[in-house]
């Protein structure tokens, strides 16, 4: 079968690799000249770095010893992976996808394949090329279509306005910088501004939880606490009963007590206890843990020393000097950076293939395939904290879906009901996840896909290792392509 993979970021290259191993004729299209997606030179903001400790940001078949690596080193790892497994030979870099639509014919969208039109990136006048494919994997990335708030008075402000994606070297030097947002990117950028700019101000509506690189007062890496089966058992119960183990049924009172201890440790270890109460998270864990990132080094120190002015308020409007906050205060700026997230949209996709609900949430079965469409899937839109491992398992699941070898094959209505149930659960467990973010449920998400593929979810040789060692790591899932459609044995 001819398969097209849209995007050559982590999700695209691992999907192409798995499809090639399973005999597909693969073409990869990407608008950038370099493999890596947001990790490529064209796709990342200045200073972007991985928040993954050693052995987390890696694929199963190529170890990666990098530790909190910068974008350049991360891109080199991804390019090495694509070269090693023959993906570079299938890549057409600098190619923009214009449209993806079902081939003509009766039946469901995609039943007769897909027509893809593309052209050289950045040249709207270039000739468009049309091609037919049997199946399509969309791995175009969740961090490319920037979201900017529509604030009144934009014409008043004469300074520089950027989204975080657009920050480059030298953007902050000697200028008065305001960063709007409360996530990992916002804290990264304002910490960098504190070292380079004349002044640095962070404006956030609420303070999110951030995870320190090491827990237990700095003694143990976070993956040994939060990324184990025992750690995940403290979360609200997963929506899929097939993935709920006895350990997940811990009494809620015990969970609350343990989260209280974890929260105290996080506040102490990150240094947030040393900041005013208004600059600490207001909600108890695990509330909004899905939106947590790894605390940037130097952020708390910069706030305490006055190099960062942190304000907790909504932004109301523009002024001639900068921004007006809901509190009435004005924040002056030369540069305003909005680290306000991204829209998960697909401008090239035929509107007859709906993938969002009216609220803008992604409606994908298992976070991968749209009910009612054949031979179309999405990779990288089933976000988990260790996302690169999640992408690899998604690639295996989607390949089996295309081949028709999944153990479970629900019909369209069953898929829709499953999506409804999962979205309702996400809104309870992880408000604002948009149908996309599965947050810290790395292992439960892996179990769910393995169950569908008829593969064992137990991936370690003994119970202590299974429950107490980090489980959301790719090397535990090596070899899934060796016997397509058959269950393989557990790996240690």
Provide the 3-class DSSP secondary structure of residue 135. strand
For residue 35, what are its two tokens?
């493999």
Query: pLDDT tens digits, residue range 130-159?
Result: 999 999 999 998 888 889 999 999 999 999
Owner of token pair 């979810």: 457
For residue 488, what pLDDT is reported? 37
Domains along the chain with CATH numbers: 2-145+343-477 (3.50.50.60), 154-338 (3.50.50.60)
Looking at residues 349-361, what average pLDDT do you find?
Answer: 91
22-49 pLDDT, tens digit per residue, is 999 999 999 999 999 988 888 877 788 7
How far apart CA 172 and CA 339 sit, in angstroms, is 15
Whether residue 191 has pLDDT greater than 90 = yes
List of residues 6+ apart from 476 with CB closer than 8 A: 60, 459, 460, 491, 492
Q: How many helices (H) and strands (E) does the chain have?
A: 11, 20
pTM: 0.93
Per-residue pLDDT tens digits for 66-99: 888 888 999 999 999 999 999 999 999 999 999 9
Q: What is the DSSP letter of 237?
A: P
d(CA 32, CA 42): 7
Task: Specify the long-range contacts of residues 143-150, CB closer than 8 Å, at least 24 apart.
Answer: 143/38, 143/342, 144/38, 144/43, 144/342, 145/342, 145/343, 145/344, 145/345, 145/347, 146/338, 146/342, 146/343, 147/338, 147/340, 147/341, 147/342, 147/343, 148/338, 148/340, 149/180, 149/315, 149/338, 149/340
CB 338 within 8 A of CB 163: yes
Residue 436, pLDDT above cutoff 90: no
pLDDT digits (tens, 9 = 90+) for 463-485: 999 999 988 888 889 888 754 44
Beta-bridge partners for 137: 5, 377
């Amino acid at each position: 079968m001819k398969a097209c993979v849209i995007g050559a970021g982590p999700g695209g290259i691992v999907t192409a690799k798995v499809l090639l191993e399973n005999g597909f004729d693969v073409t990869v299209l990407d608008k950038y000249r370099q493999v890596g997606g947001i990790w490529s030179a064209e796709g990342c903001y200045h200073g972007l770095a991985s928040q993954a400790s050693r052995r987390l940001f890696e694929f199963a078949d190529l170890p990666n010893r990098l530790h909190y690596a910068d974008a350049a080193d991360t891109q080199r790892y991804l390019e090495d992976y694509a070269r090693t497994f023959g993906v570079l030979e299938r890549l057409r870099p600098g190619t923009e996808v214009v449209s993806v639509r079902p081939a003509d014919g009766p039946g469901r969208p995609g039943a007769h394949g897909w027509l893809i039109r593309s052209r050289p990136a950045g040249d709207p006048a270039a000739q468009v090329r049309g091609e037919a494919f049997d199946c399509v994997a969309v791995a175009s990335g969740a961090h490319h279509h920037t979201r900017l708030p529509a604030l009144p008075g934009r014409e008043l402000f004469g300074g520089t306005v950027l989204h975080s994606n657009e920050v480059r070297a030298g953007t902050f030097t000697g200028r008065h910088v305001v960063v709007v947002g409360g996530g990992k990117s916002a804290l990264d950028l304002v910490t960098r501004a504190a070292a380079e700019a004349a002044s640095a101000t962070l404006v956030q509506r609420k303070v999110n939880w951030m995870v320190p690189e090491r827990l237990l007062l700095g003694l143990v890496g976070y993956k040994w606490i939060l990324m184990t089966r025992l750690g995940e058992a403290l979360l609200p119960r997963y929506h899929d009963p097939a993935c709920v183990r006895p350990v997940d049924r811990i009494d809620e009172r015990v969970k609350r007590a343990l989260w209280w201890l974890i929260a105290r440790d996080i506040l102490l270890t990150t240094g947030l206890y040393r900041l005013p109460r208004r600059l600490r998270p207001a909600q108890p864990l695990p509330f909004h843990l899905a939106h947590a990132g790894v605390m940037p080094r130097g952020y708390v120190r910069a706030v305490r020393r006055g190099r960062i002015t942190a304000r907790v308020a909504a932004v109301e409007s523009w002024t001639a000097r900068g921004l007006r906050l809901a509190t009435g205060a004005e924040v002056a700026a030369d540069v305003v950076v909005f680290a306000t997230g991204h829209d998960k949209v697909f401008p090239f996709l035929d509107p007859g293939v709906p993938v969002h609900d009216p609220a803008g949430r992604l409606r994908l079965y298992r976070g991968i395939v749209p009910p009612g469409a054949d031979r179309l899937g999405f990779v990288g839109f089933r976000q988990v904290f260790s996302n690169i491992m999640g992408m690899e398992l998604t690639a295996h699941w989607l390949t089996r879906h295309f081949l028709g070898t999944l153990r479970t094959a629900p019909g369209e209505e069953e898929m829709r009901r499953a999506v409804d149930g999962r979205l309702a659960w996400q809104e309870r467990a992880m408000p604002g996840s948009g149908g996309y973010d599965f947050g810290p449920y790395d292992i439960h998400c892996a179990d769910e896909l393995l169950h569908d593929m008829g593969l064992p979810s137990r991936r370690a040789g003994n119970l202590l290792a299974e429950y107490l060692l980090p489980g959301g790591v790719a090397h535990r899932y090596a070899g899934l392509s060796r016997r397509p459609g058959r269950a393989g044995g557990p790996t240690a």
